[in-house]
């Protein structure tokens, strides 16, 4: 391949040059800063640069975002230390998603069959209640199904099925995810009803 002939083709960053510079020199350092640990300031900054972000989003120190104008985040999302959202294309993170420490979301790739190492981009979509564990990597074009888990250090270049736990490089399904809090709530509710019936019976 000839890297001296490399171009980005028709690709565009999606914002004027002045906005890119302002983000690079002002916005990005604020969001990434370890000296400013306040999520509210980081969220405010990302919104000012075009990110769509819901309520109660926690952003830890060291988080990097390539282009905030190509980022959409739902409610109650946690993004851990040193996560890297490399969003040359759109990244959508739905509500109640956890991105743990050092997670890398990669939306860009290259065509190794092309003589000029052609750039290729594709969006990433992480659906509600998913967990991407520490140091995991997600490639371009991947959709993480609702409630899926990609475990510690997992790497995936393909979409993940809902409510399934994946591990390894390349990530393989390990087992179905079972969330038991609903059963606990149902049990507590049943116990409460039984207690009320018992109390009513005594009073009678």
* Distance in angstroms (rounded) separating the CA atoms of residues 142 and 150: 12
Under the banding of pLDDT at 50, 70 and 90, the label for residue 180 is: confident
What are the tens digits of pLDDT across the range 87-101? 999 999 999 999 999
For 153, how many CA atoms within 13 A lie in the half-sphere containing its CB?
2
* Distance in angstroms (rounded) separating the CA atoms of residues 118 and 69: 24
CA distances from 73 to 43, 92, 106, 184 (A): 10, 6, 16, 29
What are the tens digits of pLDDT across the range 14-39? 999 999 999 999 999 999 999 988 99
Q: Which two tokens stand for residue 35?
A: 């000296």
* Distance in angstroms (rounded) separating the CA atoms of residues 110 and 101: 26
User: What is the fold, at CATH topology level, of the domain defined by 3-177?
Assistant: UDP N-Acetylglucosamine Acyltransferase; domain 1 (2.160.10)
* Distance in angstroms (rounded) separating the CA atoms of residues 47 and 59: 13
**What was the pLDDT predicted at 185?**
66
- Which residues neighbour 158 within 8 Å (Cβ) at sequence distance 6 or greater? 142, 170
Radius of gyration over every alpha carbon of the chain, rounded to an integer in angstroms: 21
pTM: 0.87
Under the banding of pLDDT at 50, 70 and 90, the label for residue 203 is: very low
**What was the pLDDT predicted at 179?**
83
**What was the pLDDT predicted at 197?**
66
**What was the pLDDT predicted at 158?**
97
Higher pLDDT, 192 or 5: 5
* Distance in angstroms (rounded) separating the CA atoms of residues 108 and 28: 19
Residue 123 contacts residue 102 (beta carbons within 8 Å): no
Work out the number of other CB atoms within 10 angstroms of the CB of residue 106: 22
CA nearest to 39, candidates 63, 61, 65, 59: 59
Q: Which residues pair with 97 in a beta bridge?
A: none
Residue 164 contacts residue 148 (beta carbons within 8 Å): yes
78-82: long-range contacts at Cβ-Cβ below 8 A with a sequence spacing of 24 or more? 80/134
């Amino acid at each position: 391949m000839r890297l001296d002939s490399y171009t980005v083709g028709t690709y565009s960053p999606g914002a004027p040059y002045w906005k890119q510079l302002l983000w690079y020199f002002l916005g990005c350092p604020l969001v990434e800063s370890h000296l400013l640990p306040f999520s509210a300031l980081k969220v405010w900054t990302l919104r000012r640069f075009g990110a769509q972000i819901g309520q109660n989003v926690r952003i830890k120190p060291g988080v990097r975002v390539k282009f905030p104008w190509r980022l959409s985040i739902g409610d109650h999302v946690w993004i851990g230390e040193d996560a890297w959202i490399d969003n040359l294309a759109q990244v959508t993170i739905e509500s109640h998603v956890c991105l743990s420490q050092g997670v890398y979301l990669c939306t860009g790739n290259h065509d190794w069959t092309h003589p000029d190492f052609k750039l290729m981009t594709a969006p990433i979509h992480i659906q509600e209640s998913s967990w991407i564990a520490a140091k995991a990597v997600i490639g371009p074009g991947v959709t993480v199904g609702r409630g899926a888990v990609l475990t510690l250090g997992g790497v995936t270049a393909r979409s993940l099925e809902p409510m399934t736990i994946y591990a390894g490089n390349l990530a393989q399904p390990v087992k179905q995810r079972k969330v038991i809090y609903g059963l606990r709530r149902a049990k507590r509710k049943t116990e409460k009803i039984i207690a009320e019936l018992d109390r009513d019976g005594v009073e009678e």
